[in-house]
């Protein structure tokens, strides 16, 4: 079991969980005048961390630059909903990967 793998999966899970919280925040503010949607990015930071030999990477939250509606709000409900579905699936995939990592430990303990 590699430390980099566990750390990378952990970073991905953290980033995805943050993205889901931010999506919830955006949808909650769909009718707030002047509210700008927020976007979470962690993939490129994680990719360079993994190629640099560590798996720990943080996520950054950026404000969306999409054009706003007349009330100054730029939350796009269908985009947020679909992003929520996508993020949920990615989270499941990462949990599965973490499960497989610990499965290796389980197997080796059983062999001993």
Partner 1 sequence: MPLFGAIGVAGTGVTVYRKWLDAISDNISNINTARPTSAAAFQARYVVAQAVTSPDGTGGVQVGGIAFGSAAGRLVYDPQHPLADAQGYVRMPDIDLGNEMTQMIMAQRGYQANLAVVDRAKDAYQAAIQLGRN
Interacting residues toward partner 1 by CB under 8 A: 76, 78-79, 82, 85-86, 89-90, 92-93, 96
The whole-angstrom separation of Cα 38 and Cα 22 is 7
**Smallest distance, partner 1 to C-beta of residue 89, A:** 5
CB of 88 to partner 1, least distance (A): 8
> Of the two residues 53 and 110, which places its CB atom closer to partner 1 in the complex?
110
Q: How far is the CB of 67 from partner 1 (least distance, A)?
A: 13
HEC assignment per residue over the chain: CCHHHHHHHHHHHHHHHHHHHHHHHHHHCCCCCCCCCEEEECHHHHHHHHHCCCCCCCCEEEECCCCCCCCCCCCCHHHHHHHHHHHHHHHHHHHHHHHHHHHHHHHHHHHC
Of 3 and 96, nearer to partner 1 (C-beta) is 96
Q: Which is nearer to partner 1, 55 or 83 (CB)?
A: 83
Nearer to partner 1, 3 or 92 (CB): 92
Residue 48 in tokens: 């360079």
- Minimum Å gap between C-beta 95 and partner 1 is 9
């Amino acid at each position: 079991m590699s430390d980099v793998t566990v750390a990378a999966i952990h970073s991905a899970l953290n980033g995805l969980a943050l993205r889901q919280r931010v999506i919830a925040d955006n949808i909650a503010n769909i009718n707030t005048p002047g509210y700008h949607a927020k976007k979470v990015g962690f993939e490129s930071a994680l990719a360079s961390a993994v190629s640099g030999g560590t798996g720990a990477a943080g996520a950054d939250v950026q404000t969306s630059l999409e054009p706003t509606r007349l009330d100054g709000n730029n939350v796009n409900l269908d985009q947020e909903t679909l992003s929520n579905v996508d993020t949920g699936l990615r989270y499941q995939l990462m949990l599965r990967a973490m499960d497989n990592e610990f499965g290796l430990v389980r197997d080796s303990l059983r062999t001993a």
